[in-house]
Amino acid sequence: MTIRRTAPGFTLVEVAVAALIVGLLLSTLMYTFAAQVDRRNFEETRARLDRARELVLAFAVANGRLPCPARSTSAGAEAWDSATGKCTSGGVDDYYGGSLSSGATGGLLPASTIGFREVDSSGFAVDAWQNRIRYAVAKARASGTCGTTPPAGTIIFTHAGNLKTYGMSCQPDDLLICKSASGITSSGCGGSANQIMSQSLVVAIVFSTGKNATSTGGSGADEAANLDGAGTTDPIFVYHELRPSSGTGGEFDDQMTWITIGDLVGKLVIAGVLP
């Protein structure tokens, strides 16, 4: 009599279970890898912003003034009128389109002007996600920060002669950094409790709109506040820790660094540019 043996194998249930386990392992590995990439990009962007800040200060030491922002048509160079010291405006596609209220000017980081190396194919400074890095600078005296001289509206921080003359006595009075978009008005953070840096301290801001960047920033109110200048022309920014979309103020992954009047004057005094 012939005995027929059944070849060993896996049942459909066993195959399904194995496939499920393999799928779970792969998805976990992919999630871990994606998280590591995001973390690396975050840290690289942070490093790029820090380098940009130091290059802006180095430019100020070498030229006696802060650089102006780049525009969408300037190929990464500052848009600056050497005769007046004014930052010139660009087209409607420029960040802020030129001027902010109270005299500050916003735009793109002037990579070629300050020697920033991480740029896109058009010469504009980019973060680790290849989004263009933004830059805003205080440039004019609005009122009340240095007595009656110079007159209100005088270009100071992007004008070497005026910065030399008035830099030790005049404070900026336009750029403002808040903790949240909640309560922000066209003129302030809505109270000192929501304020990180006052308008008498910040002379320049460098920032990245993060991984979720679009032409208008992320969907959260806090991120939108950093790119709303085209609509409200306010020089008011928001900065805090990273938050998911479920957090107060919506998703937030912007990164930011800034230069205070103390930082700027200190560098210029050490270099002998001031007083």
Number of structural domains (the chain) is 1
With 90 as the cut, is the pLDDT of residue 39 above it? Answer: no
Exposure of 214 in the CB half-sphere (CA atoms within 13 A):
9
- pTM over 0.75? The answer is yes
**29: phi then psi, degrees, rounded to nearest 5:** -65, -40
Mean pLDDT of the chain: 80
Q: Could you tell me if residue 74 is inside a domain?
A: yes
- Tens of pLDDT along 190-209? 888 888 887 778 999 999 98
Interval 103-116: pLDDT, tens: 445 688 999 999 99
On whether residue 264 sits in a domain, the answer given is yes
Using alpha carbons, list the distances in angstroms from residue 183 to 104, 180, 212: 21, 8, 24
The pLDDT of residue 212 is above 70: yes
Residue 4 in any domain: the answer is no
Q: Which domain holds residue 193?
A: 12-270
Both structure tokens of 242: 């990273």
State the pLDDT at residue 265.
Answer: 92
**Where is pLDDT greater, at 261 or 106?**
261
At 13, which amino acid appears? V
Is residue 268 predicted with pLDDT exceeding 90?
Answer: yes
Kindly give, in sequence order, each residue whose CB lies less than 8 Å from that of residue 168, ignoring residues fewer than 6 positions away.
Answer: 265, 274, 275
Confidence check: pLDDT of 228 > 70: no
Q: pLDDT band for 263, please (50, 70, 90 cuts).
A: very high
3 lies in some domain = no
Q: What is the DSSP letter of 185?
A: B
Q: How far apart are CA 238 and CA 180, in angstroms?
A: 6
Q: What is the pLDDT of residue 142?
A: 61
Band of residue 257 on the pLDDT scale cut at 50, 70, 90 = very high
Reading across the β-sheet that carries 236-238, which strands appear in turn?
A: 195-197, 176-178, 236-238
**Lowest-confidence segment of 42-51, 168-177, 261-270 by average pLDDT:** 168-177
Domain presence at residue 6: no
Q: Which two tokens stand for residue 171?
A: 């404070």
The closest of 138, 50, 107, 126 to 227, measured between CA atoms, is 107
**Strands across the sheet containing 134-137:** 105-108, 134-137, 202-208, 255-260
Let me know if residue 220 belongs to a domain.
yes
Distance between CA 83 and CA 67 in Å, rounded?
14
Tell which wins on pLDDT, 13 or 110. 110
- For residue 5, being part of any structural domain is answered with no
Residue among 97, 99, 95, 121 at smallest CA distance from 109:
95
Q: State the pLDDT at residue 59.
A: 97
pLDDT of residue 92: 32
